[in-house]
Amino acid sequence: MKEVELYTDGACSGNPGPGGWAFILRCLKTGKELQKADGMAETTNNQMELMAVIRGLETLKEPCQVTLFADSTYVGQGLTQWMANWKRNNWTRKVKGRPQELKNAALWKRLDELTQTHRLTFTHVKGHAGHIENERCDELAVAACQRFMKR
């Protein structure tokens, strides 16, 4: 199984507001690297963080061992702690003891589908702390966000 590293970040100006996502995908065997970014006119930071991971995983043409590097605790905790319960509870979560529709459920469902194809390991990186790939993803996501800002 091919081993790859996936670095991701999302950005948003306002929450909600215009947003951008970016990823860097690197094959460990060949060293080949792909960078992509895009955005939306009206979105949230969490949605852009999820889109970065989704678009990166969707780029892979075969099942891979993926080490995901992201500064989003929302994505990290969702993948490692919350998703199993959300699935078990039909993509809902309890609020004051009552089931409530999960925010960003469609994105989490898509991410769940992708994690069934790939073996994913999440690694949290501190944002804006000099991590080269995280800083580059931030630059790309912010630039993508700016393309959607009204002038």
Q: Is 38 a catalytic residue?
A: no
Long-range Cβ contact pairs of 125-130 (< 8 A, separation 24 or more) = 125/69, 125/70, 125/71, 126/71, 127/9, 127/71, 128/71
Q: Which of 46, 3, 1 has its CA nearest to residue 21?
A: 46
Q: Is 127 a catalytic residue?
A: no
User: From the candidates 5, 38, 71, 133, which is the catalytic residue?
Assistant: 71
Q: Is 71 a catalytic residue?
A: yes
Q: Is 128 a catalytic residue?
A: yes
Q: Is 101 a catalytic residue?
A: no
Angstrom distance (rounded) from CA 99 to CA 47: 21
User: From the candidates 10, 20, 76, 78, which is the catalytic residue?
Assistant: 10
User: From the candidates 5, 49, 76, 133, which is the catalytic residue?
Assistant: 49
Q: Is 76 a catalytic residue?
A: no
User: From the candidates 5, 9, 38, 133, which is the catalytic residue?
Assistant: 9
Q: Annotated active-site positions, please?
A: 9-10, 49, 71, 128, 138
